[in-house]
Structure 1
Amino acid sequence: MLTGNSFRKTLDILHREMDVSLYRRDVIANNIANSDTPHFKRSVVNFETSLKAALASEKPSKHLQPFLKDPRHIPFERPVDYRTVRPRKVLDFLTTAKNNGNNVDIEQETMNALHNQLQYQLMSQVVASYYNQVNLVLR
């Protein structure tokens, strides 16, 4: 298997992002469905920042390089495999938008749903163009 191939890595990241986008769609739909439920707290999905940190940790740091003479020494940074990053659903307890304790803003959630849908469409078009390039090469 080609694990070091950037084509494969890019497609893998795009597929993971698309899966997270589907999960985010369900979370946003749940927020919208419970917009009138008293004391309901909206949820958000965190994934991109963790993925960005994992991808950045794969490159060695240019600033300080530790001198590890003993295997028991602890390195400054440990690389994180991007394939181990999972989306996290986080409840927003800090804000309150309504008097009944509910913090779902229906307009904001609708905009989040639209933004998520456009991101998914863009990613699916990029994946389709990658596969079209493969088909072009194979012909």
Structure 2
Amino acid sequence: MSLFSSTIQSLENGLNYSSAKQKAISQNIANVDTPNYKAKTVSFKEQLNASISTMEANRTNPRHFEFSGSGKGTLNIRNNPFQYNHNGNGVDIDKEMSEMASNQIYFNALSDRMNGKFNSLKTVIRGGK
């Protein structure tokens, strides 16, 4: 029996993804003028699809759908092959700034939800007071 629901684990994984993405974006922005630097991206969708494809579920009724997929995916950081500058640099600063703002919103939403989960636990521990 688990003390916490899997929601906290999912939120933690989301925060880890956001952190890795922030690091990649920061590296890209820091190297915007570096010759032959290729922008880095964090792949998550591929890992999610691979994880879902191997997931297995306990069917309690034969009418339930069959599906498979379990295990933890890892985040892959890969280089973007595009070149945006004459010096071989692959960083588009406008795209990076847009992704940074989007990632910040995503991180804030996850951290607010995590805070709400812990506040609910605190309320339960205090006996509803």
| Structure-2 residue corresponding to 1:50 | 47
Question: Which structure would you say has the larger RCO, counting Cα contacts within 8 Å and 6 or more residues apart?
Answer: 1
| Structure-2 residue corresponding to 1:122 | 109
Question: Once the 2 structures are TM-superposed, how far is the Cα of residue 138 of structure 1 from its aligned partner?
Answer: 2.0
Identify which of 110, 114, 129 aligns with 2:97: 110
Structure 2 counterpart SS, 1:45 = strand
Structure 2 counterpart SS, 1:44 = strand
| TM-score of the aligned structures, taking structure 1 as reference length | 0.74
Alignment of 1:24-43 (within 5 A): 24-43=21-40
Q: Which amino acid in structure 2 is aligned with residue 123 of structure 1?
A: L
| Structure-2 residue corresponding to 1:70 | none
Question: Once the 2 structures are TM-superposed, how far is the Cα of residue 20 of structure 1 from its aligned partner?
Answer: 1.8
Uncovered stretches (5+) of structure 1, i.e. residues with no partner: 64-76
**Deviations 1:74-125 (Å, cap 9, x if unpaired)?**
xxx75322xx2111101111x2211211110111101111111111111000
Are 1:136 and 2:123 counterparts? Answer: yes
In 1: Cα distance, 2:96 partner to 2:48 partner: 23
Identify which of 8, 15, 18 aligns with 1:18: 15
Identity score, percent: 27
Q: Following superposition, which runs of at least 4 residues in structure 1 exceed 6 angstroms of deviation?
A: none
Q: Which amino acid in structure 2 is aligned with residue 79 of structure 1?
A: G
| Structure-1 residue corresponding to 2:65 | 62
| TM-score of the aligned structures, taking structure 2 as reference length | 0.80
How many residues align? The count is: 120
